[in-house]
Amino acid sequence: MKTIDFCVNGKNVSVICSPAKTLLDVLREDAGLTGSKECCGKGECGSCTVLLNDVPVCSCLVLAGQVEGERVVTVEGIGTKQAMDPVQQAFVDEGATQCGYCTPGLIVASRAYLTSIGHVPGLDEIKRALGGNLCRCTGYTKILQAVQTAAARQLSSREL
């Protein structure tokens, strides 16, 4: 057991756990942040996507020891029901969530992608950016629309 100090969603946290515990389990079990989901445990599905120093990673492939002193953002840190991020709002408006289990990972990955660009992306660009996030319900079509909608809103709010 080790004490691991890191920053999650802007707050410094300190957890006592095995350094070999996955970041996903630390977030869910020790930090009480259950938005990130485990689906495959192998880095295949993207359901556990979080930002590690602003870069999207599969938190099931990151060990607790690796995040000592680092910055982590989970879906809970992107926005809340009371104050949704434009990406979250667009997912709701466009009907881009169904069962919702893959949604947190997709929100994090979409947020990271939209932060990294300054235009409304084409479908092929979004497909490359979100190629690592599996969804079994939606057929992805409304996810593509939601990312474009969020990008357009983000741009127009910047221009204001």
For another protein, the closer CB: 15 or 142: 142
For another protein, the closer CB: 71 or 127: 127
For another protein, the closer CB: 33 or 62: 33
Placement of tokens 């350094």 in the chain: 19
CA distances to 46, 130, 134, 155, 156 from 56, rounded to whole Å, are 9, 11, 15, 22, 25
CA distances to 19, 27, 44 from 50, rounded to whole Å, are 18, 10, 14
Residue 104 interacting with another protein (CB under 8 A): yes
Residue 154 interacting with another protein (CB under 8 A): no
* Contact by Cβ (8 Å): 60, 42: yes
User: Which parts of 58-97 interact with another protein (CB under 8 A)?
Assistant: 74-76, 78-81, 84, 88-89, 91-95, 97
The candidate with the shortest Cα–Cα distance to 36, out of 96, 98, 108, 89, is 108
Please identify which residue in 7, 13, 17, 39 interacts with another protein, judged by CB under 8 A: 39
Q: Summarize as ranges the residues that interact with another protein (CB under 8 A).
A: 28-29, 32-42, 44-45, 47, 74-76, 78-81, 84, 88-89, 91-95, 97-104, 107, 126-128, 130-144
